[in-house]
Amino acid sequence: MGRNFTRRTFLKLSGATAAAIAVSGSVTKMVSEVSAETKAEESQFVRSFCEMCTSRCPIQAKIENGKVTYIAGNPDWAATGGTVCARGGAAVSQLYDKDRVKKPLIRTGERGEGKWKEVSWDEAYSYIAEKMQEIKSKYGAESMAFACRGGTHKAYMDTLAKAYGSPNTFTHESTCPIARTVAKEVIFGTAAVSLDYGNAKYLLSLGRSFFEGINVSQVRGVMKAMANGGKLVSVDPRFSVTSAKADEWHAIKPGTDLALVLAIIHVLIRDNLYDKEFIEKYTEGFDAIKASVVDTTPAWAAQETGISEKDIERMAKEMAAAKPRAIIDWGWRTTFSPEEFELRRASIIANLLLGSFEVPGGMYLDKSAGFINGLVGKTVVPGLAAPKLPPFPKPAKPRVDGAQVKGQPHFLVPASDGVVQEVPEAILTEKPYPIKGWFVLRNNPVVSQSNTTRVIEALKKLDLLVVCDVNLSDTAWFADVVLPESTFLERDEGFNNAGGSAPSYTLRQQVVKPVYDTKPHWQIFKELGERLGLGQYFPWNNIEDMRAIQMGGNTELIKAAKDKGFINFGIKPLFLRDKNSVAQFVSKYPEAVSKVNDLGIIDGPILNLKTHSKKIELMSHEVQELFGRPVPIYRPVKLKEDNELYFIQGKSAIHTNAHTHDIPWLYGLMPTSRLWVNPDTAAKLSLRAGDTVEVTAESGKQKAVVLVSKGVRPDTVFTYFGFGRVSPGLKRAYKQGVNSSLLLPTVMGPVCGTALHTAGVQIKKV
């Protein structure tokens, strides 16, 4: 499983020299080349992929004397260049943290009192199974909800939920990117569309915080584009690290980005700067868009956004000059204003007007195994197979949030994600029916959902709360049972689909044996399933069985993945409308030549999308029918009262969401957060840097220490997300900094159920 590495070679490279040089990707590459050549007795590097955030970068972990001592990027993974971010490197500190949950816990005191007894796994399973059966017989299986953040664990969780009989499975997506997901589905008939940053000539970020909301491959893509002369424009109410690195920073008024995008579309159409040929051939609904932007002039948008008319005109023209390699980023966390859906679809429409689709430096359809096999006409890349399972029982009731339920407001939200904020609502209101039990894994809704106080109130009403986490998270603090999962460095897993512009699979491998009495999620779900009499839905014995199922028994591929940490199939990034990349693809797979048209491109798939018209839909009949919104229209939203300040948040480069703040190394680097206040605002309120203020919103109050900075608009305050933790079990992070979620109301945007992370607040010195 590990990379072979002799003790002698290792010693040669260890010590100060290796420590000094090992940070660079090229050196880790050198190390791995040495190791690959050397047949030896000892494994020193194990390849896997990181789980310190959702980017899941391929890594290699160095082991010395049975302990992990260092995490580097997988040197063979081109997109990250063998690098990791600070959080990835700090996985070691999470692994050996003495404050982790070491054994399953059952609550002995009142909920939230912090009184627990350590129990065996057997006792924990019995307790959970008994309560789950009780909930099923008293209220029906649908009264049990299951939530995780998406990932490799989701399939196991969903299997347990469906086998048990509940339709209510959730991810955290409605608190994150659901608006762009639904926008893509409406326009392309699929959400599997990505952006090629590396080849972009013009990149407009509407609060996409590349250098703090990190995905290492994307960061490197943006850096490559900039190094090649590409322009980066940051539109953000605060001076983020991305704003600092950008060619331009525009401190937009929060919640008005849609006006900017509609003005850009206006200019592109008004001045005939759009890609007419592309629009005519591949899209539907241009006339409706054209009619809708007649009045969205730069002069109008300037009043809404605070960005000057001249700058907006110039931006649109510069984008047109850079087309098709120009991108308005569709965002990652898409939760600023209630009109997120419209903002994200307008951004995609602007990109389409620029012809920025299936070309380098533009948007592209993900090239999955199925996609590639379809082009070639036979299987050249294996898809990830799933175990054959008996049919699931039909749930007695539809989903509690109405996702994909006809006639319900969340009809367009994928049922595989749902609208997770509806869980606390259903617990509290018992509408449309009560939720009585909640199984939460790798998700911390007490901090990551809005209105912490209300979420806690809901948790207190549950008959059963099971939390599977690596530490005593804010949600775990209120649980009946805490199941400690082995950290990602301690667990083997099946394959993870890591494809984008070409198919690839990464493999998670156990780097060291669990330090404490913990288990991997797949084992937890299987064992709990068996305890519930649902063993037939987990028809495999161990993870090797699962890997074999996924790879259709291809042992060679499994071996290759274990050695390398991933498998790809030697396919270079494929952009269907780019002659060179198509030629390259056809030289590898000559069978695909029949798909190439007279222009030397492959456009069959673009003309055969899963939309109603089979084309790209600029105007949506479906959204028209359901919501009376055929095209994006600017609807001004009131996010604050006159005497309030906009309250916005963002990711810090050092921490992940509601996860890492208690991890010793990362806590050491950034133990707390401050509230950014503009000097003019500070002067008005007689505030100085370091003062403590009370921040008041409709849903609660928080104390915050002020940072006076011109890096935020005078009408806005900013803080990094994930601080102010409420679990005393997080001994370091507890109550450090601002819990932004406590200040946010539970508001859902129309069309896609996205959460809202902007609120109006008042601040006063205390």
Using an 8 Å Cβ cutoff, are 108 and 69 in contact?
A: no
What is the C-alpha to C-alpha distance for residues 425 and 445, in angstroms, rounded to an integer? 13
Beta-strand pair 759-765/692-697:
antiparallel
Please say whether the dihedral angle defined by the alpha carbons of residues 403, 409, 413 and 414, taken in this order, is positive or negative: positive
| DSSP sequence for 285-339 | -HHHHHHHTTT--HHHHHHHHSS-HHHHHHHHHHHHHHTTSEEE---SS--SSTT
How near is the Cβ of 173 to ligand SF4 at its closest, in Å? 17
Which residue minimizes CB distance to Mo ion?
176
Residue 631 interface partner, choices Mo ion, ligand MGD, ligand SF4, none, CB cut-off 5-8 Å depending on type: none
Tokens read off for 316: 């649109």
How near is the Cβ of 378 to ligand MGD at its closest, in Å? 38
Q: Which stretch binds ligand MGD (CB under 6 A): 48-56, 555-563, 619-627, 681-689?
A: 48-56
| Composition of the chain by helix, strand, coil, percent to 5 | 35, 15, 45
Does 676 bind ligand MGD (CB under 6 A)? Our answer is no
Does 331 bind ligand MGD (CB under 6 A)? Our answer is yes
Q: Which stretch binds ligand MGD (CB under 6 A): 105-113, 276-284, 495-503, 737-745?
A: 737-745
What is the C-alpha to C-alpha distance for residues 722 and 446, in angstroms, rounded to an integer? 11
Residue 84 interface partner, choices ligand SF4, Mo ion, ligand MGD, none, CB cut-off 5-8 Å depending on type: ligand SF4
Tokens read off for 520: 């991997």
Comparison of 495 and 721: residue with beta carbon closer to ligand MGD: 721
Comparison of 57 and 631: residue with beta carbon closer to ligand SF4: 57
How near is the Cβ of 519 to ligand MGD at its closest, in Å? 10
Q: Which stretch binds ligand MGD (CB under 6 A): 117-125, 290-298, 528-536, 739-747?
A: 739-747
Site string for Mo ion, 298-337 (x = CB under 5 A): -----------------------------------x----
| DSSP sequence for 634-682 | ------S-TT-EEEEEE--SS--TTTGGGSHHHHHH-----EEE-HHHH
What is the C-alpha to C-alpha distance for residues 381 and 355, in angstroms, rounded to an integer? 29
Q: Which stretches within 578-651 are classed as H helix?
A: 579-588, 621-627
Using an 8 Å Cβ cutoff, are 538 and 521 in contact?
A: no
Tokens read off for 94: 């999470």
Residues numbered 248 to 287 that lie near ligand MGD (CB under 6 A) are 252, 254-255, 257
Does 498 bind ligand SF4 (CB under 6 A)? Our answer is no
Does 176 bind ligand MGD (CB under 6 A)? Our answer is yes
Comparison of 333 and 661: residue with beta carbon closer to Mo ion: 333
- Kindly give, in sequence order, each residue whose CB lies less than 8 Å from that of residue 500, ignoring residues fewer than 6 positions away: 194, 366, 367, 573
Catalogue the E-assigned strands of 446-536.
464-469, 481-484, 495-497, 504-507
Tokens read off for 500: 């984008």
How near is the Cβ of 210 to Mo ion at its closest, in Å? 14
Comparison of 181 and 568: residue with beta carbon closer to Mo ion: 181
Tokens read off for 48: 């896997």
Q: Which stretch binds ligand MGD (CB under 6 A): 130-138, 230-238, 505-513, 626-634?
A: 230-238
Residues numbered 252 to 291 that lie near ligand SF4 (CB under 6 A) are none
How near is the Cβ of 73 to ligand SF4 at its closest, in Å? 7
| DSSP sequence for 135-178 | HHHHH-GGGEEEEE-SSTTHHHHHHHHHHHT---EE-SGGGTTH
Residue 469 interface partner, choices Mo ion, ligand SF4, ligand MGD, none, CB cut-off 5-8 Å depending on type: ligand MGD
What is the C-alpha to C-alpha distance for residues 512 and 491, in angstroms, rounded to an integer? 8
How near is the Cβ of 332 to ligand MGD at its closest, in Å? 4
Buried b (16+ CB within 10 A) or exposed e, 412-427: bbbbebbbbbbbbbbb
Q: Which residues pair with 497 in a beta bridge?
A: 505
Using an 8 Å Cβ cutoff, are 53 and 84 in contact?
A: no
What is the C-alpha to C-alpha distance for residues 289 and 329, in angstroms, rounded to an integer? 20
Residues numbered 486 to 505 that lie near ligand MGD (CB under 6 A) are 487-488
Using an 8 Å Cβ cutoff, are 454 and 746 in contact?
A: yes
Residues numbered 78 to 117 that lie near ligand SF4 (CB under 6 A) are 84-85, 87-88
Block residue for tokens 């010793």 = 664
Residue 236 interface partner, choices ligand SF4, ligand MGD, Mo ion, none, CB cut-off 5-8 Å depending on type: ligand MGD
Does 206 bind ligand MGD (CB under 6 A)? Our answer is yes
What is the C-alpha to C-alpha distance for residues 452 and 316, in angstroms, rounded to an integer? 41
Does 523 bind ligand MGD (CB under 6 A)? Our answer is no
Binding residue for ligand MGD, selected from 31, 46, 157, 235, defined by CB under 6 A: 235
- 17 SS3 class: helix
Give the interface size with ligand MGD as a residue count (CB under 6 A): 59
Please say whether the dihedral angle defined by the alpha carbons of residues 4, 26, 72 and 545, taken in this order, is positive or negative: negative
Block residue for tokens 């939460």 = 440
Does 506 bind ligand SF4 (CB under 6 A)? Our answer is no
Residues numbered 22 to 61 that lie near Mo ion (CB under 5 A) are none
Q: Which stretch binds ligand SF4 (CB under 6 A): 174-182, 209-217, 257-265, 415-423?
A: 209-217
**316, 293, 282, 296: which is closest to 187 by C-alpha?**
282
Binding residue for ligand SF4, selected from 74, 143, 215, 678, defined by CB under 6 A: 215
Give the interface size with ligand SF4 as a residue count (CB under 6 A): 13
Residue 494's alpha-carbon distances to 138, 187, 366, 369, 521, in angstroms, are: 36, 32, 21, 17, 11
Binding residue for ligand MGD, selected from 167, 650, 749, 760, defined by CB under 6 A: 650
Using an 8 Å Cβ cutoff, are 566 and 74 in contact?
A: yes
The answer to whether the bond into 745 is cis (omega within 30° of 0) is no
What is the C-alpha to C-alpha distance for residues 433 and 143, in angstroms, rounded to an integer? 8
Binding residue for ligand MGD, selected from 266, 718, 748, 760, defined by CB under 6 A: 718
Site string for ligand MGD, 592-631 (x = CB under 6 A): ----------------------------------------
Does 659 bind ligand SF4 (CB under 6 A)? Our answer is no
Comparison of 143 and 334: residue with beta carbon closer to Mo ion: 334
Binding residue for ligand MGD, selected from 53, 84, 200, 359, defined by CB under 6 A: 53
Residues present in the chain in total: 766
Q: Which stretch binds ligand MGD (CB under 6 A): 211-219, 364-372, 593-601, 629-637?
A: 211-219
* Residue at 312: amino acid letter: I
Does 176 bind Mo ion (CB under 5 A)? Our answer is yes
Site string for ligand MGD, 451-470 (x = CB under 6 A): -----------------xxx
* Residue at 556: amino acid letter: E
Comparison of 258 and 586: residue with beta carbon closer to ligand MGD: 258
How near is the Cβ of 682 to ligand MGD at its closest, in Å? 18
- 497 SS3 class: strand
Does 471 bind ligand MGD (CB under 6 A)? Our answer is yes
Site string for ligand SF4, 32-61 (x = CB under 6 A): ------------------x-xx-xxx----
Site residues (vs ligand SF4, CB under 6 A): 50, 52-53, 55-57, 84-85, 87-88, 214-216
Site residues (vs ligand MGD, CB under 6 A): 51, 53-54, 87, 149, 172, 175-176, 206-209, 212-215, 235-238, 240, 252, 254-255, 257, 331-333, 336, 441-444, 448, 468-471, 473, 485, 487-488, 648-651, 653, 655-659, 718, 721, 740-741, 744, 757-758
Site residues (vs Mo ion, CB under 5 A): 176, 333
